[in-house]
């Protein structure tokens, strides 16, 4: 299957471990712990009160919902690195989110049932706000495949470029910490009362985080000399198993990985690095590790694998995009960041996990995996520029 | 509390928290098995068990240790009733 | 890349089953009602005990499709069927209930909010649920937009490619376009394109958005089956509504993401040959998808 390469020209981000892309990267490499006690909204009545909270934004904007604020911060960072050089009608925005503007819904029901607030509560509100701010008049889409949203968005963005429906796409993912999601995951007993320890034998659950990550995508032939890397392949597959828990056999994830590799025309032997979803729940990590072992097969022993949700918390819609960007930065910098929170590897997770220290390795081809609520599995195959 | 009383409370929980139909719940006995995959059970899955545990904690005032594997207590209403009775007596 | 064809469309709306139930003029037929609610499907099986109304409507739409297409369930099962789901509003009621339940738990609920909760039980629909507003554990997974396609995937054994887009009619145009790409690239052998829209539980909030949507808001669920076929589909912005878009608004009312699927059903019902021109608008953007004559 021949698919035209799509370039990831530049990226911008705002995260619990760094307010821009550079701070995010150095924070990852040195193993910064972005988890803290949540301060922005009441958490005293919840069992778990910790999360990857962004304490301070470079610019606080009055009147914008928090999700939009995170997006604008990431967009400012992106635009400091690359300009949107295309007619407005040819600039598209595709964003992934699990919860969109839900916090505005909380406010609408609590004290301000205005039309503006209610419209902002719709999950696709922030994407609209970002498009307006960027002056983008091309297609505007919100993708919501739960925790895989940040991957699916990149895949749909690539489709827009290949179909010639846009010349540039600002794409990525975001989500915020709010009472809604903290209550929800608390009710599922998915949150750990310890710390998030991906692939650790003592792991007991995840912690949530917030963030926004945006990349600028263009057709490879339009990208000029400078790029962070390329998106070679994307695929998704459904579990069809359970509304909240992953399929214990991980067949959906396996299907997504194999399909993404096929689309990328890349074999398992070509993979240099895997960024795992690694939420640190007992079930996710076991299923994911088993699938990766199955797919990587004889190569499993030599392919480094990491997971960064221990450092940031699970940033939901932002996660897969942040992890994709990390793959490309690892290629550029020649370093794979450690898996914060992993101290005692679970013997059942037989992977070459980059644990307590960063590893000096320069991956060219990376695989990034995501497993979302309701059985949304996604895989991205990325190629770094390596310089 | 005797097992029948506990069963009545559990039936109420099944209706109000787990969304079972009233008549279905009325038909359940101590012998009724719970977990999905067990022949003739009422088909509770992991999500249901979390909800059930929380409801039991709230209703009976007991605390369940998450680190322990309590699966065997959730096999049937009988095993569950015994577990609850033992824990409420211990408390 | 191969072309595609729309094999069949299943439609369920507040007006009834399929497009034959649509009035000739929705605004007149509404008679002042802001929301035309769809009945909660009574689906057999304890498996649906936890599912929300919107999940059941999603399943009902696929069942309507299977009837229209004279297909058995086993013919869509498996990894070769893609599922594309689009909605603007269907997650609203579950979110609303979860937020209100949280406020009640925290003791912060005022008399106003408590009364609001009952107010939102339009036509007794919510009373179909046993007991009080849903508790947290079972309810939270259903607040995610992905819950509807998840329940559909589970029910019909769908394990193929998966896309979920949020927005109104233009997002459905995007969704149909995605389906044509997946088929064209051979990533699936058939694609189900599904939309569900519900409003009843959040009616007061939607009423305030009068500037965003024209009444009547008509709850609906629809599912199209796309297969490889002779027609090329062209995806491009549209400056004006197509005749089909205008027709759906007149006949069905405001159906958001379901509108383009209802348009497809109406086009098939009238049996016209020639290009199929679909357009859809949401938040000021109008997208278009044109299936050329084979």
User: DSSP for B53-78?
Assistant: HHHHHHHH-----TTS--GGGGSBHH
Nearest Cα residue to A98 out of C95, C285, C280, C100: C95
Of B50, B66, B67, nearest to A188 by CB-CB distance is B50
B18 touches chain C (CB under 8 A): yes
In tens, the pLDDT along C43-53 reads: 767 778 889 99
Determine which of A82-91, A316-325, B59-68, C250-259 has the lowest per-residue pLDDT on average.
B59-68
Q: In the prediction, which pLDDT does C133 show? A: 42
Per-residue model confidence as pLDDT tens digits over A346-378? 999 999 999 999 999 999 999 999 998 788 999
How many helices (H) and strands (E) would you count in chain A?
11, 13
Q: What is the pLDDT of residue A118?
A: 75
* Burial class, A341, CB count within 10 angstroms (exposed 0-12 / middle 13-18 / buried 19+): buried
Least confident of A236-245, B64-73, C212-221: B64-73
Q: Is C5 helix (H, G, I), strand (E, B) or coil?
A: strand
Q: What was the pLDDT predicted at C125?
A: 31
* Active-site residue, selected from the candidate residues A65, A147, A349, A376: A147
Q: Domain A6-384 in CATH: superfamily?
A: Thiolase/Chalcone synthase (3.40.47.10)
Name the residue among A185, A174, A146, A147 with its Cα closest to residue A43. Answer: A185
- Quickly count: other Cβ atoms within 10 Å of residue C108's Cβ: 11
Question: Given CB atoms, is A41 within the 8 Å cutoff of chain C?
Answer: no
Share of chain C above pLDDT 70, in %: 87
Residue whose token pair is 């640190």: A280
List all residues of chain A from 191 to 230 with a beta carbon under 8 Å from chain B. Answer: 204
Q: Is the Cβ pair A238, C236 closer than 8 Å?
A: no
Residue A281: the pLDDT is 95
Beta strand A168-175 pairing with A211-219:
antiparallel
State the catalytic residue, choosing from A277, A327, A349, A376: A277
Give me the mean pLDDT over the C100-122 stretch.
48
Residue C192 main-chain phi, psi, to 5 deg: -95, 125
CATH architecture for segment(s) B3-90: Orthogonal Bundle (1.10)
Closest Cα in chain A, distance from residue B50 (Å): 7
Interchain CB contacts (distance < 8 Å): A and B: 17
- Three-state secondary structure of chain A: CCCCCEEEEEEEEEECCECCHHHHHHHHHHCCCCCEECCCCCCCCCCCCEEECCCCCCCCCCCCCHHHHHHHHHHHHHHCCCCCCCCHHHEEEEEECCCCCHHHHHHHHHCCCCHHHHHHHCCCHHHHHHHHHHCCCCCEEEECCHHHHHHHHHHHHHHHHHCCCCCEEEEEEEECCCHHHHHHHHHCCCECCCCCCCCECCCCCECEECEEEEEEEEEHHHCCCCCCEEEEEEEEEECCCCCCCCCCCCHHHHHHHHHHHHHHCCCHHHCCEEECCCCCCHHHHHHHHHHHHHHHHHHCCCCEEECCHHHHCECHHHHHHHHHHHHHHHHHHCCECCCCCCCCECCCCCCEECCCCCECCCCCEEEEEEEECCCEEEEEEEEECCC
Closest CA to A258 of A290, A226, A294: A294
> Is A141 close to C91, i.e. CB distance below 8 A?
no
Question: Left, alpha or beta for A91 (phi > 0: left; psi -120 to 50: alpha)?
Answer: beta
Angle at A362 between CA A357 and CA A366, to 5 degrees: 95
C280 contacts C287 by C-beta, under 8 angstroms: yes
Query: pLDDT tier at C113 (50, 70, 90 boundaries)?
Result: very low
Helices (H), chain C: 26-30, 53-69, 92-105, 111-119, 136-139, 147-156, 169-184, 203-208, 243-252, 259-270
The average confidence (pLDDT) of chain C is 87
Give the residue carrying structure tokens 């569950």: B80
Chains contacting B (3+ CB pairs below 8 angstroms): A, C
Mean pLDDT of chain B, nearest integer: 90
Instruction: From A289, A265, A293, A264, select the one nearest A276 (Cα to Cα).
Output: A289
Q: Is B21's Cβ below 8 Å from some Cβ in A?
A: no
- Say yes or no: B54 contacts chain C, CB-CB below 8 A: yes
Catalytic annotation on A111?
Answer: no
Q: With beta carbons less than 8 A apart as the criterion, state whether B42 and B33 touch.
A: yes
Would you list the domain boundaries of chain B? 3-90
Backbone φ, ψ for residue A279 (5° rounding): -75, -15
Query: By percentage, how much of chain A surpasses pLDDT 90?
Result: 86
Catalytic, A314? Answer yes
Interface test with C, best of B11, B14, B16, B17 (most C CBs within 10 A): B17
pLDDT band at B91 (very low <50, low <70, confident <90, very high): low
What's the CA gap between A167 and A91, in Å, rounded? 6
| Residue from A183, A185, A189 to probe the interface with B (highest B Cβ count within 10 Å) | A189
User: Sorting pLDDT into bands at 50, 70 and 90, what band is C114?
Assistant: very low
Task: Judge whether C280 and C169 are in contact, CB under 8 Å.
Answer: yes
Among this protein's residues, is A299 annotated catalytic? Answer: no
Domain range annotation of chain A: 6-384
Q: Chain centroid to CA B58: how far?
A: 13
**CB–CB contact C135 B51 (8 Å):** yes
Confidence band, pLDDT 50/70/90 cuts, at residue C91? very high
Residue B56: is its pLDDT beyond 80? yes
Say whether pLDDT at C150 is over 80.
Answer: yes
pLDDT band at A137 (very low <50, low <70, confident <90, very high): very high
Q: What is the pLDDT of residue C201?
A: 76
* Both structure tokens of C253: 């009312």
C154 and A241 within 8 Å at the Cβ level: the answer is yes
Interface contact C208-A114, CB threshold 8 A: yes
Q: What is the pLDDT of residues A265-313, one digit of tens each?
A: 999 999 999 999 999 999 999 999 999 999 999 999 999 999 999 999 9
Nearest partner of A188 among A378, A375, A373, judged by Cα: A373
**Pairs of residues, one from chain B and one from chain C, whose beta carbons lie less than 8 Å apart:** 41
Interface ipTM > 0.90: yes
C115: confidence class by pLDDT, cuts 50, 70, 90: very low
Model confidence band, residue C122 (pLDDT cutoffs 50, 70, 90): very low
Measured distance CA(B3)–CA(A381) in Å, rounded: 57
Confidence grade of residue B1 (pLDDT, cut at 50, 70, 90): confident
What is the band of C59 on the pLDDT scale with cuts at 50, 70, 90?
very high
User: How does residue C107 score in pLDDT terms, banded at 50, 70 and 90?
Assistant: low
- From the list A105, A186, A373, the residue facing C99 with the nearest CB is A105
Do residue B47 and residue A245 have CB atoms under 8 angstroms apart?
yes
Of B15, B43, B51, the CB nearest to C137: B51
Is residue B22 less than 8 Å (CB to CB) from chain C? yes
What is the rounded (10 degree) CA torsion for C151, C156, C161, C163? Answer: -40
Q: B35 has which bridge partners? A: B44
Task: Work out the average pLDDT over A121-135.
Answer: 94
Number of C-beta neighbours around residue A347 at 10 A:
7
Residues 6+ apart with CB under 8 A from C67: C10
Lowest mean pLDDT segment, chosen from A196-200, C58-62, C172-176, C272-276? C272-276
- Please tell me the predicted confidence (pLDDT) of residue C42: 82
User: Is A245 in Cβ contact with B46 (below 8 Å)?
Assistant: yes
Chain C contacts of B24, Cβ < 8 Å?
46
Q: Which helix (H) or strand (E) holds B88?
A: helix B77-90
Shortest CA distance from B47: residue in chain A: A188
**Which residue has 């009608």 as its token pair?**
A89
For C56, the token pair is 């059941």
B54 in contact with A, Cβ within 8 Å: yes
> Which residues 291-350 in chain A show a CB within 8 A of chain C?
none
Residue with the two structure tokens 């607030």: A117
From chain B, pick out residues whose CB is under 8 angstroms from the CB of A245: 45-47
Nearest-10 Cα torsion for A49, A51, A55, A59: -130
Q: Do A142 and C150 touch (CB under 8 A)?
A: no
- Hey, is C165 helix, strand or coil? strand
DSSP C41: P
User: Are the CB atoms for A187 and C136 separated by under 8 Å?
Assistant: yes
Specify the pairing of strand A91-96 against strand A140-143.
Answer: parallel
The domain segmentation of chain C, as residue ranges, is 3-291
The matching CATH number, chosen from 3.40.50.2300, 3.40.50.300, 3.40.190.10, 3.40.47.10, for C3-291 is 3.40.47.10
Q: Is the pLDDT of residue C105 over 80?
A: no
pLDDT reported for residue A231:
97
The residue-averaged pLDDT of C95-120 equals 57
Q: Which residues of C touch B47 (CB under 8 A)?
A: 50, 137-138, 141
Cβ within 8 Å, pair B19-C50? yes
User: With an 8 Å Cβ cutoff, are B51 and C130 in contact?
Assistant: no
Whether residue A231 contacts residue A154, with contact meaning beta carbons closer than 8 Å, is answered with yes
Kindly identify which residue of chain C lies nearest to residue B24, measuring between CA atoms.
Answer: C46
pLDDT at residue A224, as a whole number? 84
- CB contact at 8 A, A367 and A142: no
List pLDDT tens digits, range C211-227: 667 889 999 999 999 99
Count CB atoms within 10 A of the CB of residue A344: 12
């Amino acid at each position: 299957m021949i698919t035209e390469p799509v370039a990831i020209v530049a990226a911008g981000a705002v995260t619990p471990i760094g307010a821009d892309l550079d701070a995010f990267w150095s924070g990852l490499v040195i193993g910064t712990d972005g988890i803290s006690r949540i301060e922005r909204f009441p958490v005293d009545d919840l069992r778990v009160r910790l999360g990857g909270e962004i304490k301070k934004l470079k610019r606080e904007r009055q009147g914008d919902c928090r999700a939009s604020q995170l997006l604008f911060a990431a967009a400012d960072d992106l635009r400091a690195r690359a300009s949107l050089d295309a007619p407005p009608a040819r600039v598209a925005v595709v964003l992934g989110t699990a919860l969109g503007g839900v916090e505005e819904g909380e406010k609408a029901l609590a004290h301000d049932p205005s039309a503006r607030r209610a419209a902002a509560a719709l999950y696709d509100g922030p994407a609209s706000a970002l498009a307006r701010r960027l002056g983008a008049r091309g297609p505007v889409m919100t993708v919501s495949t739960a925790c895989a949203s940040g991957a699916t968005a990149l895949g749909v963005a690539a489709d827009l470029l290949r179909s010639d429906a846009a010349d540039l796409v600002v794409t990525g993912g975001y989500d915020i910490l709010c009472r809604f999601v903290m209550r929800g995951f608390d009710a599922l007993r998915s949150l750990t009362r310890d710390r998030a320890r991906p692939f650790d034998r003592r792991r007991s659950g995840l912690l949530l985080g917030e963030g926004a990550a945006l990349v600028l995508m263009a057709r490879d032939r339009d990208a000029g000399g400078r790029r962070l890397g390329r998106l070679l392949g994307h695929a998704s597959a459904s579990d069809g198993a359970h509304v909240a828990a992953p399929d214990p056999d991980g067949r959906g994830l396996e299907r997504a990985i194999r399909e993404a590799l096929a689309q990328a025309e890349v074999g398992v032997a070509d993979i240099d690095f895997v960024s795992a979803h690694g939420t640190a729940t007992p079930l996710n990590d076991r299923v994911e590790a088993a699938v990766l072992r199955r797919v990587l097969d004889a190569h499993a022993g030599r392919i480094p694998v990491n997971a960064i949700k221990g450092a940031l918390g699970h940033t939901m819609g932002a996660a897969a995009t942040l992890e994709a960007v990390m793959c490309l930065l690892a290629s550029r910098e020649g370093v794979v960041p450690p898996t914060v929170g992993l101290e005692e590897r679970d013997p059942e997770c037989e992977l070459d996990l980059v644990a307590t220290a960063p590893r000096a390795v320069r991956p060219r081809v990376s695989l990034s995996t995501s497993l979302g609520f309701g059985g949304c599995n996604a895989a991205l195959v990325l190629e770094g520029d390596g310089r | 509390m005797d097992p029948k009383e506990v069963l009545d409370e559990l039936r109420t929980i099944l209706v109000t928290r787990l969304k079972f139909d009233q008549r279905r719940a009325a038909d359940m006995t101590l012998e009724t098995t719970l977990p999905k995959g067990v022949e003739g059970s009422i088909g509770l899955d992991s999500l249901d068990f979390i909800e059930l545990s929380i409801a039991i904690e709230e209703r009976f005032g007991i605390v369940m240790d998450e680190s322990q594997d309590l699966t065997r207590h959730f096999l049937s209403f009988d095993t569950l009733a015994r577990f609850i009775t033992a824990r409420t007596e211990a408390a | 890349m191969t072309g595609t064809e729309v094999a069949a469309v299943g439609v369920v709306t507040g007006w009834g089953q399929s497009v034959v139930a649509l009035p000739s003029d929705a605004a007149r037929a509404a008679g002042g009602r802001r929301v035309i609610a769809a009945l909660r499907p009574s689906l057999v099986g304890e498996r649906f005990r936890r599912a929300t109304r919107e999940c059941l409507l999603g399943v009902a739409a696929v069942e309507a499709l299977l009837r229209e297409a004279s297909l058995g369930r086993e013919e869509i099962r498996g990894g070769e069927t893609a599922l594309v789901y689009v909605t603007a509003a269907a997650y609203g009621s579950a979110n609303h209930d979860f937020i209100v339940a949280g406020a009640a738990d925290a003791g912060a609920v005022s008399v106003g909010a408590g009364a609001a909760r009952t107010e939102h039980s339009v036509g007794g629909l919510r009373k179909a649920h046993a007991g009080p507003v849903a508790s947290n554990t079972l309810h939270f997974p259903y607040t995610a937009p992905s819950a509807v396609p998840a329940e559909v995937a589970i029910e019909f054994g769908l394990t193929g490619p998966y896309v979920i887009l949020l927005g109104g009619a233009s997002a459905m145009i995007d969704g149909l376009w995605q389906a044509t790409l997946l088929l064209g690239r051979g990533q699936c052998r058939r694609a189900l394109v599904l939309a569900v829209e519900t409003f009843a539980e959040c009616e007061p909030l939607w009423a305030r958005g009068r500037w965003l949507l024209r009444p009547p808001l008509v709850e609906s669920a629809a599912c199209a089956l796309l297969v490889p076929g002779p027609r090329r589909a062209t995806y491009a912005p549209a400056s004006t509504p197509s005749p089909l878009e205008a027709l759906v608004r007149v006949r069905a009312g405001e159906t958001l993401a379901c509108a383009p699927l209802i348009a497809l059903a109406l086009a098939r019902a009238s049996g016209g040959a020639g290009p199929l021109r679909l357009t859809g608008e949401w938040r000021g953007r109008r997208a278009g998808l044109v299936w050329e004559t084979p």
